[in-house]
Amino acid sequence: MADIKLNSPLQYIKGVGPRRAEVLARYGMREVRDLLFYFPRHYLDRTSVVPIAKLKQDQSATIIGTVRAHGVLHGKRRRYEVILEDDTGAISLIWFQGVRYWERIFEKNQIYAATGTVSYFMGHQMIHPDLERLEEDTDRMIHAGRIIPVYPQTSELNKVGLNSKGMRRLTTFVFENLSEHLPDYLPPAERHSVGLFGLNDAIRKVHYPEHRDEIERSRRRLAYDELLEFQYLVFRNMSHKDTTVKSHSYEKPAKRLSEFLDSLPFRLTDGQKEVSREIFTDLRAQHPMSRLLQGDVGCGKTVVAILAALYAAENGLQSAFMAPTEILAEQHYRVWKKALSDAGVRVGLLTSSLKSADKKKTAGLCEKGEIDLLFGTHALIYDYVSFRNLGLVIIDEQHRFGVEQRGKLYDKGDNPDLLVMTATPIPRTLALTLYGDLDISTIKDMPAGRKPIRTVWRAKDARDKVYKFVLDDVDRGGQTYIVYPLIEKSDQMNLESVEDACKELSRGALKSCRVGMVHGRIKAAERDKILQQFREGELDVLLATTVIEVGLDNPNATTMIVEHAERFGLAQLHQLRGRIGRGEKQATLIAIAHPPVSEIGHQRLKYFVSTTDGFKIAEADLELRGPGEIFGIRQSGLPELRIARLVQDQDLIEASRGLLIKLFKPYSELDVDYQTLYKYLEKRASRRDIQLGGG
């Protein structure tokens, strides 16, 4: 069948058949059109391939060579090694895992393209590179200057012969026999003003570019479309806060405020004052506030939220303050209880691990309006919790909550004001894109006297020195966190665990220190006790999992060691780092990497040690991970951004938003082109069920 249409089922394309069709369907590909939108992961061409002799350490590169030797090596760790050779030299490719598998894969004289980071150990090597097996002819294509696409590979696809090469065969055949064009919904004038390819060109060239720069041009067109659709969904689902009028009002002045501020052990920074003013203005306004308060870890967002709650209480309104972990909710409660009570604010705490009698009691008080400010975790959203007069909802570390959870708490009031806080700051254009109509306040400064945290990256073998550093620091009166990725050893993963380390260290290297341990499986009461001891200086070293990641506040902690730092995300590392350097002493973070470190792990660590600026970290994190995980987009029903890069594509975000604004007028006033686009976007949007935050 030569005549292929966009909606032809893939199953009937030559060389596919039912078995492959079934696997393709699992990746969302049923019709030819779907296949066209399955994009290559990267490309191979002569200009992107580095001669082996020219490789440098830490460089990430693609090489092409012939297998000269391969086999298992038994050393300190068993590994599989392949010697790959090109005209200029040879390099080792190393795998620590899957030795059996690789044994079966490699044969002498096969040609491979390998992509990875170059490291040095008795010669250049690549650990766990990405591999693409090439035939003689593809190798020749590359040397003739052709650019060939490399498609994402999974073992499922490989099993039915749809590895990168198989996919290439399929897409080539489809493009050769496709008898239809993809309809392009973008008005030509818009396309030209941004200098974008037409859709057909973009699709063809993203698979088979003739020149390298066509890859980026295609990507930009496809990214534009994605951003357009994404923002359409956000705009379409915006809440209509401007037409909503609150049922509560702030008539009383904040009388107890200055007294309260005087009772604090510090003065507010200019940044804190400025955002407090913005928030107070919002509270007094007629429409409900929905404001995002952003600021780097440790800049002091909590106190700002507390001031808002105090103001609410003075006006007879209740506030709910939701935090993502019990540790954090308890800490907020404990830290603020005294000062707030002195100011006449009645506070309460509600978390799941409280005794059920206590929970009932607190919920009862809250219902009767006898609690002004209720701190808590997700427990706050349960049905048995209700408020008499909820005027202010505060969400701490908002990205840790799903949209639905935020909404549930919000719905316990009658159009309450909403304040959400995050330590993952993002540029304004992005916030608009992601959150639609949230207003944004940013704290740009840090409390005086903070020193940037010294951050270093050490290999595992340097551990003895690291422990020595901890001992010296303890002698000087400092305290240390050591963070582990696991609670206990697991068979699947060869990682350090906090339980083993605790046994080992308290008998060994840290014998002379007072060592404690917290993790998610320790009972809440016990955990509290340990944290309390750590805070009060009765422990020198706290071994922990990432339960301590958010919010924990011990100004005397000066050192943090992160084991297996290569496994943590950038934002997560930055949050962890935020646990130290909260006082005036110089603090140090030591990130310990355990090989093998993947290419992305390497990039992350390099970036992490290079800056302590939360804004830069957030941007880099966006680049590396995409926004899906970071902002909980996934839970909202919005599509994943597969191609667009939120940081790099700012101009496309703005251009597509400009186009959207043109679309928001009466349909009949739109030109035909724009009507077509509108109808197209609306049709696609109506198939989705979106939930955005902010009530």
Binding residues vs ligand ADP (CB under 6 A): 266-269, 272, 295, 297-303, 423, 447, 553, 555, 582
| Residue 416 DSSP SS3 | coil
CB 419 to ligand ADP: min, Å: 13
Residue 269, contacted partner among ligand ADP, Mg ion, none, CB below 5-8 A by kind: ligand ADP
Give the nearest residue (CB) to Mg ion: 551
Residue 601, contacted partner among ligand ADP, Mg ion, none, CB below 5-8 A by kind: none
What DSSP string runs through 508-520? Answer: TTTTTS-EEEE-T
Nearer to ligand ADP among residue 366 and residue 392 (C-beta): 392
Residue 447, contacted partner among ligand ADP, Mg ion, none, CB below 5-8 A by kind: ligand ADP
Residue 121, contacted partner among ligand ADP, Mg ion, none, CB below 5-8 A by kind: none
Nearer to ligand ADP among residue 178 and residue 323 (C-beta): 323
Residue 90, contacted partner among ligand ADP, Mg ion, none, CB below 5-8 A by kind: none
Which residues contact Mg ion by CB under 5 A? 551
Residue 108, contacted partner among ligand ADP, Mg ion, none, CB below 5-8 A by kind: none
Q: List b or e across 29-68, with b for residues whose CB sees 16 or more CB atoms inside 10 angstroms.
A: beebbbbbebbbeebbbeeebbebeebeeeeebbbbbbbe
Nearer to ligand ADP among residue 546 and residue 691 (C-beta): 546
CB 582 to Mg ion: min, Å: 11
CB 396 to Mg ion: min, Å: 6
H helices present in 476-569, as ranges: 498-507, 524-535
Nearer to ligand ADP among residue 581 and residue 693 (C-beta): 581
Q: SS3 sequence, 204-233?
A: HHHHCCCCHHHHHHHHHHHHHHHHHHHHHH
Residue 297, contacted partner among ligand ADP, Mg ion, none, CB below 5-8 A by kind: ligand ADP
Nearer to ligand ADP among residue 246 and residue 301 (C-beta): 301
What stretches of 323-369 adopt beta strand conformation (E)?
A: 347-350
Q: What are phi and psi of 683, to 5 degrees?
A: -65, -45
Give the nearest residue (CB) to ligand ADP: 300
Nearer to Mg ion among residue 166 and residue 551 (C-beta): 551
Which of 548, 573, 597 minimizes the C-alpha distance to 456? 573
What is the token pair recorded at 42? 């990267």
Nearer to ligand ADP among residue 306 and residue 592 (C-beta): 306
CB 578 to Mg ion: min, Å: 8
Which of 118, 128, 112, 126 minimizes the C-alpha distance to 44? 112
CB 553 to Mg ion: min, Å: 8
As a whole number of angstroms, the distance between CA 567 and CA 252 comes to 51
CB 184 to Mg ion: min, Å: 47
Which of 626, 628, 604 minimizes the C-alpha distance to 617? 604
Enumerate residues 6+ apart whose C-beta is below 8 A from 439. Answer: 278, 282, 289, 290, 291, 292
Q: What are phi and psi of 693, to 5 degrees?
A: -75, 175
CB 170 to ligand ADP: min, Å: 50
Report how far Cα 429 is from the mean position of its chain's Cα atoms: 18
Distances 291 to 415, 416, 431 between C-alpha atoms, Å: 14, 12, 11
Nearer to ligand ADP among residue 531 and residue 653 (C-beta): 531
CB 302 to ligand ADP: min, Å: 3
Residue 319, contacted partner among Mg ion, ligand ADP, none, CB below 5-8 A by kind: none
